[in-house]
Amino acid sequence: MYFSNVSFDEFAIVLNLMSGDERHFLKAKMTYFPHTMILIVYSPLPVHDQMTSEISSVISSALHSLLFTRSLLMVNVIPSHIYSEDIFTIPDMQITLTPTTSEVAETKVLWYTETVFSQSKRMALKKIEKVLLTHRKILFILFILISKQTHYEAPTEDSLAYNEALADKSLCPYTFFSPHRDANKLFGPVKAMDHDWINVSKVKYFVWLKEDNKDININNPHMAYGTLFLVLDMGQISIALNQGMDMVKSVMRTKLDVLQPAVNHTNLLTPSAIVFDWDTDITFMSVAVYKTAHFRYCDWYHRNFNGTKHHRMNNGGDEPKAERPSNRRVIMSSSSEGTSSSGDVDSSEGTTSSGDVDSAEGSSSSEGSGSSAVE
């Protein structure tokens, strides 16, 4: 959901409420632009979270295998928040470096990953631009775009899915809900209860690397491009990920030489040779696609049937009182799974964005910036 005219105080209240809510189903990610007063709230779906799971695991293992005095340097692979005057956001993955000296030291963000599925790709690229304004030491940007074949639309009250759910009188568990993952439907369409819940058409990767001490500009051509699906072609991305790892290790070596000048840290300059098992990644992603279908079903079910109690407001009883209209304008719903979501297709094929990342062809402009060359 996108909200406009959200003051900083209002954002702080929302952040505090969400941070203190321990119920898993209410966990959500937020992005807030203080200057334009736009708040974006969305709940990452399983397919979204899985995109960075394996990469994070492999990179984390590679970092832990390095030989250095670990107590001097804290290197984390985390999805922690980024907070500056221009933006509050929670990237899908980042690598941060913090010296553990007695004197307080700045944490550097060296690696930034953003996955687009339920949010708008235009806003996702805008987030990266804002982050780069205040984190100029970022060495590596990984942008993952999951495109959908069609808009997601929740079942209507006159649908077979609705009538079946009404008759079932209970939530259908994943093992009964999900169809078999046939080889020709690994990424969908996932059809259950006579309804299409998800259909992924493409999964694309784009990489930007910092070169010659120049700040990364995502309006410039990307330096590596790959596809996990429909066609597996991740050679460039594997090379770029290793290059990014080498850049992180170089920064580590420079910092350790200052903290521990008597020790030789040249071992950190050994070129990385990390092997990424993309075939396994496809399998895990496929399972996540089917879990996303069930997630959407569960969300729709709870919205319509209030758990296991089937109650329809138009079947007698008092009508609910109308809520007072909010003065907070909802710009767009890109992740509301209970209704038809224009944001689903927007994240892959709708609005223009830096370089028209979805098609990886031609160039178009990112909001508030000049022409881009993501080709």
Write out the E strands in 79-167.
82-83, 88-89, 93-99, 108-116, 140-148
Within a domain: residue 294?
Answer: yes
pLDDT of residue 358: 44
Within a domain: residue 362?
Answer: no
pLDDT of residue 20: 61
Percent of the chain with pLDDT over 90: 50
Cβ atoms of 152 and 340 within 8 Å: the answer is yes
pLDDT of residue 69: 93
Within a domain: residue 366?
Answer: no
Query: What b/e sequence results for 98-134 when a residue is b if at least 16 CB atoms lie within 10 Å of its CB, and e otherwise?
Result: ebeeeeeeeebbbbbbbbbbbbbbbbbbbbbbbbbee
If one counts every other C-beta atom within 10 angstroms of the C-beta of residue 330, the result is 11
pLDDT-derived band at 326 (thresholds 50, 70, 90) equals very low
- Decide which of 375 and 300 is more confident: 300
Overall average pLDDT of the 102-107 stretch: 82
pTM of the model: 0.79
3-state secondary structure at position 295: helix
Within a domain: residue 91?
Answer: yes
- 282 burial type by CB count under 10 A (0-12 exposed, 13-18 middle, 19+ buried): middle
Within a domain: residue 359?
Answer: no
If one counts every other C-beta atom within 10 angstroms of the C-beta of residue 149, the result is 17
Distance CA 128, CA 131 (A): 5
Which structural domain, as residue segments, surrounds residue 117? 46-308+331-346
If one counts every other C-beta atom within 10 angstroms of the C-beta of residue 372, the result is 24
Residue 166: asked if its preceding bond is cis (omega within 30°), the reply is no
Within a domain: residue 168?
Answer: yes
DSSP-derived letter for residue 293 is: H
- Decide which of 39 and 80 is more confident: 39
Within a domain: residue 272?
Answer: yes
Within a domain: residue 9?
Answer: no
Q: What is the number of domains present in the chain? A: 1
